[in-house]
Structures are given as structure tokens and as C-alpha cells.
């Protein structure tokens, strides 16, 4: 896949994410992830899993909100483990969640980056 097509596909995923923000809370690892997503136009409610109490607290927060979740951890080993932990907690609380956005971004971006906080730099680099 060439970079132009890759950028178009990443933009489609980000557009899909943007359409979800009204009724989903975006669960990211930390503030840098939130900043990178805002830099590419994703404005919604974020919850930082790592600095705001871990997977249990994140799942409880989403449960109390009455919203659904988008689990958007990094696609490295640590991010995979964190994703599994938070998904288990969300399932235990019967909260609906999406991991497809994460999977699609990982597929498109893993050749270049391994984390959410680099998404803005990648989009910028591919766009030039």
C-alpha cells in the first residue's frame, strides 16, 4: 500500500471515530494520546486509563456515564495487555465498547508507529 492510499484509509478511520464521539468515551493511555487525537480533529470525551486509576476506574467511569467506549490503547505489547484488561472490565459491567477503530489504526499504522500519540505526526508526514 502506498502512502497516499494509507493516508486516505487512516482518514476514513479517523472520520469514523469522529462520528462516534457524541455517544462514546474514548479510552486512551494518557494525555499525549488525547493531544495527538485532538491534533487530527478528534474532539470528544477522553479518559486516560493510566493516569486516572487504571482499567477498573476507566470502565466504571464509562458505566456511570451511560455511554459506550472506544478502547484506543497503543498497539504494542503493553497496549495489547491494557486493551484486554479494560475490555474485560467493560464486559463485566455490560458496557458496550468498540475495539475496531484500534484494530484498523494498528493495521494501517504499525509499519510506521506503534502508539496513538504519534498519529498526528504520521498523518502530517504522509500528507507531505
* Alpha carbons 60 and 12: distance in angstroms, whole number: 30
Cβ contact 58:49 at 8 Å:
yes
The per-residue pLDDT for range 63-105, each reduced to its tens digit, is 999 999 999 999 999 999 999 999 999 999 999 999 999 999 9
**pLDDT tier at 127, thresholds 50, 70, 90:** confident
Q: What is the pLDDT of residue 124?
A: 94
Check residues 7 and 127 and name the one with the higher pLDDT.
7
Q: What is the pLDDT of residue 128?
A: 76
Q: Cα separations (Å) of 68 from 11, 32, 88?
A: 22, 22, 14
The per-residue pLDDT for range 11-56, each reduced to its tens digit, is 999 999 999 999 999 999 999 999 999 999 999 999 999 888 899 9
* Alpha carbons 91 and 32: distance in angstroms, whole number: 26
* Alpha carbons 29 and 14: distance in angstroms, whole number: 18
The pTM for the full model equals 0.95
Strands (DSSP E) contained in the chain are 24-28, 45-48, 68-71, 97-98
* Alpha carbons 51 and 58: distance in angstroms, whole number: 10
Q: What is the pLDDT of residue 45?
A: 97
Cβ contact 72:104 at 8 Å:
no
CATH of domain 3-118: 3.40.1360.10
Check residues 127 and 12 and name the one with the higher pLDDT.
12
Helix (H, G, I), strand (E, B), or coil: what is residue 31? helix
Amino acid at each position: 500500500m502506498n502512502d497516499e492510499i494509507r493516508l486516505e484509509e487512516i482518514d476514513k478511520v479517523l472520520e469514523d471515530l469522529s462520528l462516534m464521539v457524541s455517544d462514546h468515551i474514548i479510552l486512551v493511555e494518557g494525555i499525549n494520546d488525547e493531544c495527538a487525537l485532538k491534533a487530527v480533529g478528534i474532539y470528544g470525551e477522553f479518559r486516560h486509563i493510566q493516569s486516572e486509576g487504571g482499567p477498573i476506574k476507566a470502565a466504571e467511569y464509562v458505566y456511570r456515564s451511560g455511554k459506550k467506549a472506544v478502547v484506543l490503547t497503543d498497539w504494542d505489547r503493553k497496549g495489547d495487555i491494557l486493551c484486554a484488561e479494560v475490555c474485560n472490565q467493560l464486559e463485566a459491567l455490560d458496557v458496550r465498547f468498540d475495539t475496531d477503530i484500534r484494530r484498523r489504526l494498528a493495521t494501517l499504522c504499525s509499519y510506521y508507529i506503534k502508539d496513538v500519540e504519534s498519529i498526528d505526526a504520521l498523518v502530517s508526514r504522509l500528507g507531505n
